[in-house]
Amino acid sequence: MKNNNLIKSLIIIGLTIIALIVMNKFLDSYLKRIVNLCAIYIILGLSMNLINGFTGLFTLGHAGFMAIGAYTVAILTMPVAMKEMNFYMKPMVPFLLNLKMLEIPFLPPAASEFLWFIFALLMGGLLAALCGFLIGAPVLKLTDDYLAIATLGFSEIIRIVFTNTQSITNGALGLKGIPPRNHLLWAWSFAILTIIFMYSLMSSSYGKALKSIREDEVAARSMGINLFKHKVLSFSIGSFFAGVGGGLLAVSIGTIDPALFKFSLTFNILLIVVLGGMGNIKGTAISAIIITVAMEALRFLDEPINIGPIHTNALPGLRMVVFSLILMIVIIFKKDNVFKSTLQKARGRYAKDR
């Protein structure tokens, strides 16, 4: 039984990798970016689901942690010349300016570039996790809406700090010319690793302890579970993956600026989590793909429309109106199983005890 599942998942992973390699060869850069975004949103959705869905902590600070990851990766991977070009308003702090790839002598340059990029991503994740840890320690004493507001505030603080530290992040000008990593396997291998990590974590004793906190805090602590430790653990791991996701986003789109990490980004991820199912790994992965694709597929609505005699001017924003409508209809009719369990969970979690 167990072996069967293992073989099945290995086959699925293998097929995914082959499909990605094929897509990488034939898709144009626009479609490739969408496929990349799918993977990135899978990582982000899962990391938020760990905190909100599995542990039951209603937090809204994801954009902040992503920003930390994205800026770390950008600063670590950009060549010195490119950084100098970016920072024309005010020169960059020399220490950060001179941060560059370590050449490992006996390896070919491509290999050390490869390792350096992974190092940068891990640093992005770790810095985000560190911030998660530091923020989590005081904030996780709060519950429900209070926690949501506190983490939201934190995420806004990060964004504003990044806007104003001109000599570190280049402020509102943002960073341009981040060396792109567009090969689909980059983001997707991290997405697959994240999925495996989550499955492994949630089936372990720690994962079950996290779920027990969601189910009943009083009972969980009476069973000897250190609530604070486990909440901080979940929050830090979630932040780590948010940081990694942010880093991948940076190298996928090539330019970042603080406006990218507004609350609406957190909202998008929350949408994925709610639609995919609180505490549902498979559902989150699927809904990440659906939402990313749907957001792009509806883009034609923002442009002028000509259907026979009907003729409209460009209506920027119509896309989001239609998208939200579709979302509402889907939620109301919850025909799909995925949506059903989401609603039950979401109701149980956020509407009860009010």
Partner 1 sequence: MLKIDNITMKFGGVVAVNQFNASISKGEIVGLIGPNGAGKTTIFNMITGVYKPTLGSIIYEVNENEEDITGLRPDKIAKLGICRTFQNIRLFKELTVMDNVFIGNHLRLDSGVFSAVLRLPKYRSEEREQFEKSRYLLEKVGLYEERDEKAFSLPYGKQRRLEIARALATDPKLLLLDEPAAGMNPQETQDLMEFIVDIKKEFKLTIFLIEHHMEVVMGICERIYVLDHGILIKEGNPLEIQNDQKVIEAYLGVE
Residue 56 CB, nearest approach to partner 1 (Å): 11
Taking CB under 8 A as the criterion, the residue among 11, 18, 21, 223 binding partner 1 is 223
Rounded to whole angstroms, how far apart are CA atoms 150 and 59?
8
**200 binds partner 1 per the rule CB under 8 A:** yes
Do residues 57 and 147 lie in contact, with contact meaning Cβ atoms separated by under 8 Å? yes
- Output the CA–CA distances (angstroms, integers) from residue 198 to 115, 178, 281, 288, in the order listed: 24, 29, 7, 15
Rounded to whole angstroms, how far apart are CA atoms 35 and 190?
13
* Residues from 50 through 69 that contact partner 1 (CB under 8 A): none
**49 binds partner 1 per the rule CB under 8 A:** no
> Number of C-alpha atoms within 13 angstroms, CB side, residue 274?
20
Query: Among residues 154 and 241, whose Cβ is nearest to partner 1?
Result: 241
Closest to 179 in 3D by CA, of 77, 66, 70, 103 = 77
Axis-axis angle for helices 337-350, 263-276 (nearest 10): 120
Stretch that binds partner 1, among 22-30, 91-99, 112-120, 223-231 (CB under 8 A): 223-231
Do residues 246 and 66 lie in contact, with contact meaning Cβ atoms separated by under 8 Å? yes
Residue 228 CB, nearest approach to partner 1 (Å): 9
Residue 348 CB, nearest approach to partner 1 (Å): 8
Q: What angle do CA 304, 307, 310 make, to 5 degrees?
A: 80
Strand segments, DSSP code E, in the chain are 305-307, 310-312
Burial 261-273, CB ≥16 within 10 A → b, else e: bebebbebbbbbb
Query: Among residues 208 and 282, whose Cβ is nearest to partner 1?
Result: 208
**323 binds partner 1 per the rule CB under 8 A:** no
Taking CB under 8 A as the criterion, the residue among 3, 4, 205, 306 binding partner 1 is 205
**206 binds partner 1 per the rule CB under 8 A:** yes
In the shown chain, the binding pattern of residues 170 to 199 toward partner 1, with x for contact by CB under 8 A and - for none, equals ---------------------------x--
**42 binds partner 1 per the rule CB under 8 A:** no
Rounded to whole angstroms, how far apart are CA atoms 152 and 116?
32
Rounded to whole angstroms, how far apart are CA atoms 69 and 114?
18
**122 binds partner 1 per the rule CB under 8 A:** no
In the shown chain, the binding pattern of residues 233 to 252 toward partner 1, with x for contact by CB under 8 A and - for none, equals x---x---------------
Taking CB under 8 A as the criterion, the residue among 176, 183, 221, 262 binding partner 1 is 221
Whose tokens are 């923002």? That residue is 302
**141 binds partner 1 per the rule CB under 8 A:** no
- Output the CA–CA distances (angstroms, integers) from residue 39 to 32, 34, 193, 275, 313, in the order listed: 11, 9, 11, 17, 34
Residue 225 CB, nearest approach to partner 1 (Å): 6
Taking CB under 8 A as the criterion, the residue among 222, 299, 308, 335 binding partner 1 is 222
Rounded to whole angstroms, how far apart are CA atoms 190 and 39?
8
Residue 120 CB, nearest approach to partner 1 (Å): 21
Residue 52 CB, nearest approach to partner 1 (Å): 15
Residue 227 CB, nearest approach to partner 1 (Å): 7
Residues that bind partner 1 (CB under 8 A): 197, 200-201, 204-206, 208-209, 211-212, 215-216, 218-227, 233, 237, 348
